[in-house]
């Protein structure tokens, strides 16, 4: 999982850098998803209950970046729900 997450961190950093130029923003965006049989996120959504950044633009940008993650396909076609928070601070 670490390689998949690390692979999109530059894109997420760009999301933060672009938004922080316009609006003071700190906190975390939390996303939840399952890994599909092809190794791509399925049903990836931002969790408003777990996110401390309520900025819609930032949430959408992080979601778009997270949808680019690629994992090893799950064994035996079993996929569990995954949750990950991405923190951003000035």
Residue-wise pLDDT tens digits, 23-38: 999 999 999 999 998 8
2-8 mean pLDDT: 90
CA nearest neighbour of 17 among 83, 61, 66: 61
CA nearest neighbour of 52 among 28, 25, 83, 86: 28
| CB-based contact 63:35 (threshold 8 Å) | no
User: Is a pLDDT exceeding 80 seen at residue 6?
Assistant: yes
| CB-based contact 39:1 (threshold 8 Å) | no
| pTM, to two decimals | 0.90
Please name the helix (run of DSSP H) or strand (run of DSSP E) that holds residue 57, with its range, or none. helix 56-66
Q: Could you tell me the two tokens for 34?
A: 């399952």
């Amino acid at each position: 999982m670490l390689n998949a997450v690390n692979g999109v961190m530059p894109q997420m950093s760009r999301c933060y850098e672009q938004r922080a130029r316009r609006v003071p923003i700190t906190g975390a965006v939390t996303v939840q998803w399952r890994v599909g049989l092809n190794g791509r996120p399925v049903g990836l959504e931002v969790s408003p209950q777990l996110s401390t950044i309520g900025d819609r633009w930032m949430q959408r940008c992080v979601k778009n970046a997270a949808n680019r993650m690629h994992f090893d396909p799950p064994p035996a076609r079993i996929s569990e729900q995954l949750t990950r928070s991405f923190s951003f601070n000035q």
